[in-house]
Amino acid sequence: MQQNLPQLPVITLEKLTALIASWGVPNYRAKQVLQWRNRGILNPADMLNIPEELRERLSSSLVCEPLKLVQRQCSSDGTRKYLFMLTSGRLKGKMVESVYIPEEKRGTVCISSQVGCVLDCPFCHTGTQDFEGNLSSGEIIAQVLAVKHDLLKEPLAAELNASVTHVVYMGMGEPLANEEGVHESLSSLTDPDGLKLSKRRITLSTSGLVPQIDRLGEVASVNLAISLHAAENRLRDALVPINRKYPLQELRQCLNRYSLGKQRHITLEYVMLDGINDRPEDVELLAGFVNLDRERVNLISFNTYPGSSYTGSSKQHMNEFAKQLISKGIRATVRRSRGQDIMAACGQLKAGNRAENRES
């Protein structure tokens, strides 16, 4: 069955070498194939220095292209949002979205880990979508590779960074509810024969699944972002329902255990909802929760979407809130939202949503 075939986006050099050796092909060809793969070229037909016969064998023996680009939207700020269709396995025909965010000195790909999400945070657009399933590691990494391919084919304006220097697991889904796919994808991202990204350049955002955060710390202590959004249980139970299972005191202890390298910190994400979690007492509650030595607070403006029942706090109020946190010794920043004109910002990803500004 096709889903049992090895996936080109994540196959290791060792495995590919062994596979082609069993076909009588010399080892150096495996390196060549992975060089193409790591640049985002997944179709063996495009691997120019590979003999025809090997290209055909690769096509029939591996899942080479687990994603098909269906739509790309470009924001006026350079952000690109991609809609991909899964081409094989259980989720064949389902859609996922990824976003590329270029900045002067970095290029970040925001990737999805699931189709939909079971966790139902009431302010999140993805949470309103039915949960369909977990992505495989190949499907997760293929998002990064497809973005690389697109940037090769169609570079950005010269002043923007057109490479992939950072990866964030902040797209559709709860990454730690897909441990198998996500752990494997992390080892592929950091593989010296793969994308060779330092774990300092990878950030995983989670709504706070405590045992899974502990396991992540053991297998791949990448940067951690926690969707906090409230610092008292009553309010967090409503905004981030997984809090009922893993309340703040358990999360607190878990974050204190998470292994951090030098000069690294945990980010506490806090989406600011007018009149809900932006009250004066929320400053006090946050100050009581944050571990000043290890954590920063990132205030996120609420990105609205059709049918949403929340209103975001005003820019001015967010800045004021940040100032008050800072006066209490908390390192707080206000996140600039990117790609809003194409609904590519946090919590707006929902496959199948064909917003305006359509391209290609």
Can residue 95 be called a binding residue for ligand SF4 (CB under 6 A)?
Answer: no
Active-site residue, selected from the candidate residues 97, 132, 139, 174: 97
- For tokens 């980010």, what's the residue? 267
Cβ atoms within 10 Å, residue 250: 14
Q: Determine the straight-line distance between the first and last CA of the chain, rounded to whole angstroms.
A: 33
Q: Minimum distance from CB of 227 to ligand SAH (Å)? A: 4
Phi then psi for residue 306, to 5 deg, are -60, 130
Judged by CB under 6 A, which of 40, 66, 127, 312 binds ligand SF4? Answer: 127
Can residue 98 be called a binding residue for ligand SF4 (CB under 6 A)?
Answer: no
Can residue 207 be called a binding residue for ligand SF4 (CB under 6 A)?
Answer: yes
Q: Is residue 346 among the annotated active site residues?
A: yes
Identify what 170 binds: ligand SAH, ligand SF4, none; CB under 5 to 8 Å per kind: ligand SAH
Site for ligand SF4, residues 155 to 174, rule: CB under 6 A:
173-174
Q: Is residue 97 among the annotated active site residues?
A: yes
Judged by CB under 6 A, which of 20, 47, 121, 209 binds ligand SF4? Answer: 121
Nearest to 38 by CA among 10, 61, 59: 10
Rounded-to-integer distance, Cα 223 and Cα 203, Å:
4
Judged by CB under 6 A, which of 7, 178, 212, 227 binds ligand SF4? Answer: 227
Nearest to 334 by CA among 254, 263, 278: 278
Which residues pair with residue 334 across a beta bridge? 299
Identify what 302 binds: ligand SF4, ligand SAH, none; CB under 5 to 8 Å per kind: ligand SAH
Pairing mode, if any, of strands 266-272 and 295-301? parallel
Cβ atoms within 10 Å, residue 49: 9
For ligand SAH, the closer CB: 63 or 124: 124
333: which 2 tokens? 């920043």
Cα 12 from chain centroid (whole Å): 22
Can residue 222 be called a binding residue for ligand SAH (CB under 6 A)?
Answer: no
Can residue 208 be called a binding residue for ligand SF4 (CB under 6 A)?
Answer: no
Binding site for ligand SF4 (CB under 6 A): 117, 119-121, 124, 126-127, 173-174, 207, 227
The catalytic site residues sit at 97, 346
